[in-house]
């Protein structure tokens, strides 16, 4: 067992693996330790937006078409109305979480990352990390241990600016995708989103503020989905997860930096969590190379700004059905508005263009 390394990554989920690969690309010796065994599954909407795919490509990772399913854009469905638009910067991909994890593990192995599975990290040490009694000395330590991060706590970084919690439940169904979009169905105080993940499989996620709400019960409020899923066999068990909105005061302390969900989260409704992790990983590795984490704090905040704004905007539609239906009618009266909102969502539109779009949308909502 190695006792010294340049970078020790705690957590081998998407964020940890992305950081490990990005650090290896800059020539560092990297160890990743995870308490679980790959391929690691996690309830997730399994949608990779075009900006997320681009970030993965920088890490040398492409998802082969035969293990994923493309989607050209997003479709909103609410109360008998629907609106859709294509991404301006390429297609998204739906990919099973276990498949994505296997591909990232293979890339990390090929890049020369040392991977320790079934190896929970038990604490931090002034010079590195603790694996039980053993100390592994490391110049940099990365906390990529997810939303319930212990590293965050150990490093004294557990101070949030804002924390909202929603509850998600995910299940797969064996059925051919009926749409070339990722779909977001709006219901009474909840949303269901549907991602095509294979030619014969979809991923369905329910998100709401009610921890007791379950897919089978709530589906009855979504007649279009009920019709689509009639006769479709579930191909996985329903699994729950927390979807939190959490912004940390600081994302590093000394030699320890947080990345991915450990470093803060945006509501799952954005489908941007993976992309955010991959981008943070790139910047963090640049900071290791520069010998200072100061820039990481600043860029981390900048990266989170757009997804956080989009989450807030999208969740205003959850406020009142009548308001949402007005917005849907406004989008319907000028479909370019929805297209521009989507472009903003995936980073293809500037904040200035967005402000202009917001004004046009506001006007249309008032007159809808």
Residues forming the site for ligand FAD (CB under 6 A):
10-16, 33-36, 40, 42-47, 52, 120-121, 144-146, 150, 168, 170, 205, 241, 243, 260-262, 268, 271-275, 277
Question: Toward ligand FAD, which CB reaches closer, 278 or 337?
Answer: 278
Report which of 345, 142, 155 is spatially closest to residue 249, judged by C-alpha positions: 155
Question: Toward ligand FAD, which CB reaches closer, 78 or 277?
Answer: 277
- Number of separate helices (H) and strands (E) present in the chain: 11, 20
Question: Toward ligand FAD, which CB reaches closer, 15 or 327?
Answer: 15
Contact 77, 226 (CB under 8 A): no
CB of 182 to ligand FAD, least distance (A): 8
CB of 119 to ligand FAD, least distance (A): 7
CB of 80 to ligand FAD, least distance (A): 25
Helix or strand run (H / E) with residue 28? none
Report which of 281, 366, 328, 359 is spatially closest to residue 83, judged by C-alpha positions: 328
CB of 61 to ligand FAD, least distance (A): 14
Question: Toward ligand FAD, which CB reaches closer, 225 or 262?
Answer: 262
CB of 129 to ligand FAD, least distance (A): 9
| CA dist., res. 78 & res. 158, Å (int) | 38
Question: Toward ligand FAD, which CB reaches closer, 16 or 339?
Answer: 16
Contact 266, 283 (CB under 8 A): no
Query: Residue 97's CB: how many other CB atoms inside 10 A?
Result: 21
Distance of CA 329 to the CA centre of its chain: 29
Measured torsion, CA atoms of residues 153, 269, 234, 182, in degrees rounded to the nearest 10: -140
Question: Toward ligand FAD, which CB reaches closer, 81 or 299?
Answer: 299
Contact 349, 343 (CB under 8 A): yes
Question: Toward ligand FAD, which CB reaches closer, 296 or 357?
Answer: 296
CB of 324 to ligand FAD, least distance (A): 21
Contact 21, 113 (CB under 8 A): yes
Question: Toward ligand FAD, which CB reaches closer, 183 or 261?
Answer: 261
Beta bridge partners of 77: 82, 185
DSSP 248-299: ES-SEETTEEE-GGGGEE--GGG--HHHHHHHHHHHHHHHHHHT-SHHHHHH
CB of 330 to ligand FAD, least distance (A): 26
């Amino acid at each position: 067992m190695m006792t010294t390394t340049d970078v020790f990554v705690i957590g081998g989920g998407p964020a940890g693996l992305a950081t490990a690969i990005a650090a290896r690309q800059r020539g560092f010796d990297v160890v990743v330790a995870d308490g679980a065994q790959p391929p690691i599954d996690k309830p997730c909407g399994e949608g990779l937006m075009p900006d997320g795919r681009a970030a993965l490509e920088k890490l040398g990772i492409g998802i082969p078409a035969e293990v994923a399913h493309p989607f050209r854009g997003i479709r909103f469905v609410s109360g008998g109305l629907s609106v859709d638009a294509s991404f301006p910067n390429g297609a998204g991909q739906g990919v099973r979480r276990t498949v994505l994890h296997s591909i990232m593990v293979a890339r990390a192995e090929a890049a020369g990352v040392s991977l320790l599975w079934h190896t929970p990290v038990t604490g931090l040490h002034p010079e590195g990390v603790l694996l039980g009694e053993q100390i592994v000395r490391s110049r940099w330590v990365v906390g990529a241990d997810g939303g319930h991060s212990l590293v965050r706590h150990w490093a004294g970084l557990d101070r949030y600016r804002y924390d909202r919690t929603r509850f998600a439940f995910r299940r797969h169904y064996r059925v051919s995708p009926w749409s070339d979009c990722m779909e977001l169905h709006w219901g009474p105080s909840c949303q269901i989103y549907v991602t095509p993940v294979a030619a014969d499989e979809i991923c369905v996620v329910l998100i709401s503020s009610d921890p007791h709400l379950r897919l089978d019960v709530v589906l009855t409020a979504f007649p279009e989905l009920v019709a689509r899923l009639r006769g479709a066999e579930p191909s996985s068990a329903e699994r729950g997860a927390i979807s939190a909105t959490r912004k940390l005061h600081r994302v590093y302390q000394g030699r320890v930096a947080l990345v991915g969900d450990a470093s803060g989260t945006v509501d799952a409704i954005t489908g941007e969590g993976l992309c955010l992790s991959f981008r943070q990983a790139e910047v963090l590795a640049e900071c290791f190379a520069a010998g200072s984490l100061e820039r990481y704090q600043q860029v981390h905040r900048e990266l989170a700004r757009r997804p956080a704004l989009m989450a807030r905007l999208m969740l205003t539609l959850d406020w009142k059905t009548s308001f949402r239906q007005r917005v849907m009618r406004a989008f319907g009266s000028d479909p370019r508005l929805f297209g521009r909102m989507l472009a903003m969502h995936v980073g293809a539109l500037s904040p200035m263009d967005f402000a202009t779009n917001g004004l046009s949308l506001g006007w249309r909502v008032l007159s809808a």
